[in-house]
């Protein structure tokens, strides 16, 4: 296993922690989920905000946090809410497994733990959707447990403070150890939040403001002139590109046909317009029309919709159609994909499809990528390909 390229110089942890806390007392960010100075926040609020903040910025989370809190002010209210309502309220925040885990954790805590949050890291990690970082953050902030919470921002600050040149992700355990060594005996929650604020406002990825940093004296990365190059990252793997077709259809009232995705997996339980499978290439026009949910005068919109997921990039061609009212019958195909005598292969028009009026789309449980697809279909710049198969009579 490769070693760090230079010996790590450790600052005095007591002095470093005291300096960071003194800085925090003056410069702490006012965030909606933070308790006033000297007070400890309710576990429910800490947990809600920490789940929302996973891979999402504080600016993006603030409105969602306030909305959730006003609709479901405590764990019992959230546990009693229908999952579909929670997913709809989460719509646009991304990483939808978080919303499902939030809801299922709420039910576990309310029903199996008498509404009391676990107070240990191990207990918190047993809840769905809570990993080491989130458990550490909740334990420290809500219960003042001396537990480091080292996310990507904290990793950056610690890699610079200690001048760790080992690449990520190999350096993670070492950075976590350093974070734990710095933790003070008291004010664990403040220390964790101070590290978050330092990473967000001073020790930023580019051009860290070292002159105004409470760790400017002890920061080894600054002294060696390499701070901005840290943390080092291993070679990034190119994300594969997937392509497919989506079908945005309106009925005579302007309502849009949406289908519920399976509960498990990517965007689980969320709504989407009918989609074909995702593959390396776009389907041909004939293939796309075979993937369509039913026969209709489909037109392909100009351009494509692009969206980046964590592990792949997606490009979607959007087909649109208008039908008179309600659901036309699904296309029936045989195994070669021809319309004909066999039962439908994609019976999406059964229980999990519904027509949503356009004015209600804003409140529907639609992830961002599906909103982009629907907007593209509804605001299409014109057809490139017109129908090749006429609508089937109902």
Give, as ranges, the residues between 226 and 285 that touch ligand SF4 (CB under 6 A).
227
Integer-rounded Cα radius of gyration of the chain: 26
Contact range with ligand SF4 by CB under 6 A, out of 62-70, 213-221, 353-361, 366-374: 213-221
Least distance (Å) from ligand SF4 to the CB of residue 131?
A: 25
Instruction: Give the position of tokens 């991304």.
Output: 94
CA torsion through residues 36, 37, 42, 45, sign: positive
CA-CA-CA-CA dihedral for 162, 166, 172, 178, to nearest 10:
-20
Alpha helices in the chain (DSSP H): 13-27, 43-53, 58-71, 75-80, 83-90, 97-112, 121-125, 132-143, 152-161, 172-182, 188-201, 220-223, 285-291, 368-378
Orientation of helix 13-27 relative to helix 172-182, angle to 10°: 80
Q: State which of residues 210, 339, 383, 385 lies at the interface with ligand SF4 (CB under 6 A).
A: 210
Any contact of residue 373 with ligand SF4 (CB under 6 A)?
Answer: no
157 or 374: CB nearest ligand SF4: 157
CB-based contacts of 82: which residues, under 8 Å, 6+ apart?
A: none
222 or 290: CB nearest ligand SF4: 222
Q: Which residues are catalytic?
A: 50
Any contact of residue 19 with ligand SF4 (CB under 6 A)?
Answer: no
218 or 317: CB nearest ligand SF4: 218
Binding mask 110-149 for ligand SF4 (x = CB under 6 A): ----------------------------------------
CA-CA-CA-CA dihedral for 264, 270, 271, 274, to nearest 10:
-30
176 or 222: CB nearest ligand SF4: 222
CA 72/CA 248 separation, integer angstroms: 33
Identify whether the C-beta of residue 34 lies closer than 8 Å to the C-beta of residue 193: yes
79 or 161: CB nearest ligand SF4: 161
Number of residues that bind ligand SF4 (CB under 6 A): 15
Contact range with ligand SF4 by CB under 6 A, out of 168-176, 220-228, 267-275, 369-377: 220-228
Contact range with ligand SF4 by CB under 6 A, out of 13-21, 209-217, 286-294, 330-338: 209-217
Least distance (Å) from ligand SF4 to the CB of residue 3?
A: 22
Least distance (Å) from ligand SF4 to the CB of residue 12?
A: 15
The CB density around residue 54, as the number of other CB atoms within 10 Å, is 19
Any contact of residue 208 with ligand SF4 (CB under 6 A)?
Answer: yes
CB-based contacts of 272: which residues, under 8 Å, 6+ apart?
A: 246, 258, 259, 261, 366, 367, 370, 373
Least distance (Å) from ligand SF4 to the CB of residue 368?
A: 32
| Length in residues, the chain | 394
Q: State which of residues 153, 216, 304, 339 lies at the interface with ligand SF4 (CB under 6 A).
A: 216
Any contact of residue 215 with ligand SF4 (CB under 6 A)?
Answer: yes
25 or 209: CB nearest ligand SF4: 209
Least distance (Å) from ligand SF4 to the CB of residue 242?
A: 38
Any contact of residue 375 with ligand SF4 (CB under 6 A)?
Answer: no
CA 148/CA 38 separation, integer angstroms: 20
Ramachandran quadrant class, 187 (left: phi over 0; alpha: psi -120 to 50; beta: rest): left
Any contact of residue 213 with ligand SF4 (CB under 6 A)?
Answer: yes
Least distance (Å) from ligand SF4 to the CB of residue 194?
A: 12
Cα 299 to the chain's mean position, in Å?
Answer: 32
Least distance (Å) from ligand SF4 to the CB of residue 348?
A: 52
200 or 353: CB nearest ligand SF4: 200
DSSP letter, residue 115 = T
The token pair that represents 240 in the structure block: 């594969």
Identify whether the C-beta of residue 162 lies closer than 8 Å to the C-beta of residue 13: no
164 or 331: CB nearest ligand SF4: 164
> Which residues partner with 308 through β-bridges?
313
CB-based contacts of 90: which residues, under 8 Å, 6+ apart?
A: 64, 96, 98, 99, 365
Give, as ranges, the residues between 145 and 204 that touch ligand SF4 (CB under 6 A).
157, 160-161, 202-203
Least distance (Å) from ligand SF4 to the CB of residue 234?
A: 21
Q: Which residues bind ligand SF4 (CB under 6 A)?
A: 157, 160-161, 202-203, 208-210, 213, 215-216, 219, 221-222, 227
């Amino acid at each position: 296993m490769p070693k760090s390229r230079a010996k790590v110089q450790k600052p005095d942890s007591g002095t470093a922690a005291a300096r960071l806390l003194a800085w925090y007392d003056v410069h702490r960010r006012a965030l909606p989920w933070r308790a006033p100075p000297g007070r400890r926040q309710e576990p429910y609020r800490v947990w809600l905000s920490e789940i929302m903040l996973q891979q999402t910025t504080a600016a993006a989370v603030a409105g969602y946090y306030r909305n959730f809190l006003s609709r479901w002010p405590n764990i019992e209210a959230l546990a009693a809410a229908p999952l579909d309502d929670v997913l709809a309220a989460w719509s646009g925040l991304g990483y939808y497994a978080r919303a499902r885990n939030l809801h299922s954790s709420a039910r576990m805590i309310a029903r199996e733990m008498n509404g009391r949050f676990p107070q240990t890291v191990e207990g918190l990690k047993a809840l769905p959707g809570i990993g080491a970082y989130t458990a550490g953050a909740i334990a420290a902030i809500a219960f003042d447990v001396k537990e480091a919470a080292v996310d990507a921002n904290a990793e950056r600050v610690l890699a610079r403070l200690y001048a760790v040149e080992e690449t990520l992700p190999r350096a993670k355990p070492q950075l976590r150890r350093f974070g734990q060594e710095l933790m003070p005996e008291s004010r664990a929650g403040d220390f964790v939040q101070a590290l978050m604020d330092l990473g967000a406002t001073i020790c930023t990825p580019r051009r860290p403001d070292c002159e105004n940093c409470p760790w400017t004296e002890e920061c080894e990365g600054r002294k060696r002139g390499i701070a901005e190059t840290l943390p080092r990252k291993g070679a990034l793997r190119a994300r594969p590109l997937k392509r497919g077709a989506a079908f945005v259809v309106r009925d005579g009232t302007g309502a849009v046909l949406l289908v519920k995705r399976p509960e498990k997996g990517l965007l689980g339980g969320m709504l989407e317009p009918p989609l074909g499978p995702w593959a390396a290439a776009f389907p041909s026009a004939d293939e796309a029309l075979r993937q369509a949910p039913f026969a209709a005068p489909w037109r392909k919109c100009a351009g494509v919709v692009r969206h980046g997921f964590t592990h792949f990039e997606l490009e979607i061609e959007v087909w649109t159609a208008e039908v008179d009212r309600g659901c036309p019958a699904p296309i029936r195909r045989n195994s070669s994909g021809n319309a004909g005598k066999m039962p439908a292969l994609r019976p999406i028009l059964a229980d999990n499809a519904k027509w949503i009026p356009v004015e209600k789309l804003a409140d529907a449980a639609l992830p961002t990528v599906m909103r982009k697809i629907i907007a593209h279909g509804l605001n299409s710049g014109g057809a490139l390909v017109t129908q090749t198969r006429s609508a089937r009579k109902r």
